[in-house]
């Protein structure tokens, strides 16, 4: 393991590469990264990278976003199969047909895509949002337009609640956040009655309504920073998030929802990236995200939404 880490560090220097890792990656990968963050922070960090290569330890849409925002850089993803159930739930051709049907019916709308979507879907959208900037972007949608929000219906529902804007919701969900059991959460709350519950807005309403704080991964860290005394936190998001919480705020105790015996809160796509695959992709310069025609239009939408 130590050899493997030394090898990755050596190859990173040799290949003039920067490693970006999402908070849902295994701790050992986050530890090796030059930047860790949520989707928004990493997309922005990618535009500041000075090396010729970015290795994105995350899922496909994240690496694709980094490439779209940095066409001249080589962007590598340790496992190209690291997908996302949300992105899969919204194929671009199906979205285009749905938009056409709305237009034929005389509906005036703008399409807002969660960043957990393919480049082709972003290219069909007016805005791209992350959990970190969704509320401010929604304020930019003209009041006389309806909002078609794709693909996460739980995040969409949450955003309807906090902004008061009614939306047409696509029927997608995240396999990790969808699976939390409210019964197990309530049992855990009975065991630890003083604990604070943190939930990602990708969680269904029945989990969110029993939570003290709802926010994306970066917002969760900001919220933790407001607690000085050692506190118990129940965490309703991907389990690796607790590694970052523990390393930034070690005075607290973190408990995964639904419970320590269940491993279903681990994202199988994120888990495809391993130290071995990180080493191999640096050694071989592959797999690489290759520029696609849809990236041009997706770039306009991403720059407008995330960088300005
Ligand atoms: P954030 O880290 O942006 O909150 O999003 C989590 C996520 O959905 C990753 O796929």
Say if 107 falls within a structural domain. yes
CA 124 – ligand 1 centroid, Å = 21
Question: Is 214's pLDDT higher than 60?
Answer: yes
Chain mean pLDDT for the chain: 96
Atom 4 of ligand 1: nearest residue by CA position: 216
- Looking at the structure, tell me whether residues 146 and 104 fall in a common domain: yes
* pLDDT of amino acid 219: 98
- Among 200, 222, 266, which is best to mutate for testing ligand 1, by the most ligand atoms less than 8 A from CB? 200
CA 131 – ligand 1 centroid, Å = 7
Token pair, residue 287, equals 């797999």
Token pair, residue 36, equals 């860790």
Say if 283 falls within a structural domain. yes
Token pair, residue 180, equals 């939390």
* Per-residue model confidence as pLDDT tens digits over 183-197: 889 999 999 999 999
Give the angle subtended at the CA of 157 by the CAs of 155 and 161, to the nearest 5°.
110
Question: Is 45's pLDDT higher than 50?
Answer: yes
CB of 217 closer than 6 angstroms to any ligand 1 atom: yes
The CATH number given to whatever domain includes residue 250 is 3.40.50.10800
- Looking at the structure, tell me whether residues 95 and 148 fall in a common domain: yes
Q: What is the pTM of this model?
A: 0.96
Name the pLDDT band for 265 (thresholds 50, 70, 90). Answer: confident
Say if 30 falls within a structural domain. yes
- Looking at the structure, tell me whether residues 161 and 201 fall in a common domain: no
Question: Is 259's pLDDT higher than 60?
Answer: no
Report which ligand 1 atom has the smallest distance to the Cα of 219: 4
- On whether the CB atoms of residues 184 and 213 are closer than 8 A, the answer is no
CA 174 – ligand 1 centroid, Å = 10
CB of 130 closer than 6 angstroms to any ligand 1 atom: yes
Q: What is the 3-state secondary structure (H, E, C) of 16-81?
A: CEEEEEECCCCHHHHHHCCEEECHHHHHHHHCCCCCCEEEEECCHHHHHHHHHHCCCCEEECCCCC
- Among 113, 177, 178, 216, which is best to mutate for testing ligand 1, by the most ligand atoms less than 8 A from CB? 216
Say if 301 falls within a structural domain. no
* Per-residue model confidence as pLDDT tens digits over 88-105: 999 999 999 999 999 999
Say if 147 falls within a structural domain. yes
* pLDDT of amino acid 56: 98
- Per the structure, how many domains does the chain have? 3
Say if 203 falls within a structural domain. yes
Atom 9 of ligand 1: nearest residue by CA position: 39
**Full domain range(s) for residue 152:** 87-169
CB of 240 closer than 6 angstroms to any ligand 1 atom: no
CA 107 – ligand 1 centroid, Å = 31
Question: Is 1's pLDDT higher than 80?
Answer: no
CB of 131 closer than 6 angstroms to any ligand 1 atom: yes
* Span of 181-190, 223-232, 258-267 with lowest mean pLDDT: 258-267
Q: Omega before 188 cis (within 30°)? A: no
- Looking at the structure, tell me whether residues 16 and 57 fall in a common domain: yes
- Looking at the structure, tell me whether residues 156 and 185 fall in a common domain: no
- Looking at the structure, tell me whether residues 233 and 186 fall in a common domain: yes
- Looking at the structure, tell me whether residues 68 and 8 fall in a common domain: yes
In the block, tokens 């520029």 appear at 291
């Amino acid at each position: 393991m130590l050899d493997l880490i030394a090898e990755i560090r050596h190859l990173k220097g040799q290949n003039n590469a920067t490693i970006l890792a999402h908070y849902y990656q295994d701790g050992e990968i986050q530890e090796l990264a030059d930047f860790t963050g949520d989707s928004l922070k990493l997309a922005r960090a990618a535009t500041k990278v000075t090396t010729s290569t970015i290795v994105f330890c995350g899922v496909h849409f994240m690496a694709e976003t980094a490439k779209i925002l940095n066409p001249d850089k080589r962007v590598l993803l340790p496992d190209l199969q690291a997908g996302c159930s949300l992105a899969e739930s919204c194929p671009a051709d199906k979205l285009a047909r749905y938009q056409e049907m709305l237009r034929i019916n005389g509906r005036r709308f703008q399409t807002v895509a969660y960043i957990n979507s393919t480049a082709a879907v972003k290219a069909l959208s007016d805005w791209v949002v992350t959990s970190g900037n969704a509320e401010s972007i929604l304020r930019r949608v003209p009041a006389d337009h309806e909002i078609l929000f794709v693909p996460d219906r739980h995040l969409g529902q949450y955003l309807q609640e906090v902004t008061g804007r009614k939306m047409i919701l696509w029927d997608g969900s995240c396999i990790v956040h969808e699976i939390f059991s409210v019964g197990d959460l309530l049992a855990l709350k009975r065991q630890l009655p003083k604990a604070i519950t943190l939930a990602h807005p990708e969680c269904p309403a029945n989990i969110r309504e029993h939570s003290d704080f709802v926010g994306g991964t970066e917002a969760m860290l900001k919220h933790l920073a407001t607690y000085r005394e050692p506190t118990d936190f129940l965490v309703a998001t991907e389990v690796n998030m607790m590694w970052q919480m523990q390393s930034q705020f070690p005075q607290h105790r973190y408990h995964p929802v639904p419970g320590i015996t269940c491993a279903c809160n681990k994202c199988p796509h994120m888990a495809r990236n391993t130290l071995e695959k990180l080493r191999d992709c640096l050694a071989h310069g592959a797999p690489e995200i290759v520029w696609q025609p849809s990236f041009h239009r997706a770039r306009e939408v991403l720059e407008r939404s995330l960088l300005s």
